[in-house]
Amino acid sequence: MIRMGVLQMSRYAQLMVLALLSILLGTSPGLAQETPPKELGESEGHGERPYDLNEFAIFLGASDDDVNPTEPTLGAAYRHRVARRLAVGALFDYAGGDQRNAILAASVTWFPIGRLQLMAAPGVEFHRGQGPTVCCGCGEVPESEDPVQARQIDEDARYFVFRLRAGWHFPVGQIYGILPNINVDLVDGEKVWVYGVNFTFAL
């Protein structure tokens, strides 16, 4: 009887060992199968969060040019990651006050190293004119008037704009983030500097 009990116990032990081995072999990527290559959306390691395929952003900042005073600027942006280091998207900005400029542009973003983001965005700037701002309302500015005064007649216009951006992304949890950035808009032969922060929301 004792011998039969020992045999039964040894069988149970053998079954337990086989079960544990099968579990280990089935779940261990090093033993059961090769580790699959990382796909877009997976973490690169080093404590970074997974890549986000889609990201929305709200922009708060200011625009500064050589003619008008610095004005507050609001905007929104969207981007879609098409590769590990490349994303495409679109953006919209509006600078109020005396500038009265709205920008609509397509964007290409490159992620060269770490959380650095470099963006290029060709698009259209829509300028909303204010009409004559110097004249007293008694007629058009004569041709003999000073050209500085003549330029004060502000009309609606559209221009091609090319925006360049550099920024550094700071993740906040798994979804949110903060992206301080500096932009330069090349428009109508002039440079407009746009400084601000993108508050990002990833999906």
Q: What is the pLDDT of residues 119-169, one digit of tens each?
A: 999 999 998 876 655 544 444 444 445 544 445 666 788 999 999 999 999
pTM to 2 decimals?
A: 0.65
| Measured distance CA(49)–CA(179) in Å, rounded | 15
Residue 16 scores a pLDDT above 70: no
Q: Which residue has the higher pLDDT, 4 or 82?
A: 82
Lowest-pLDDT range, 8-22, 28-42, 81-95, 147-161? 28-42
138: which 2 tokens? Answer: 């008694």
Average pLDDT over every residue of 179-202: 94
Distance, in Å, from the CA atom of 133 to the CA atom of 38, rounded to the nearest integer, reads 60
**Averaged pLDDT, 160-184:** 95
Output the pLDDT for position 99. 77
Among 87, 61, 59, which residue's Cα sits nearest to residue 192?
61
Domain parsing of the chain, residue ranges: 1-36, 54-132+146-202
Neighbour-count burial of 92, counting CB atoms closer than 10 A to its CB (0-12 exposed, 13-18 middle, 19+ buried): middle
Q: Which CATH number does 54-132+146-202 carry?
A: 2.40.160.20
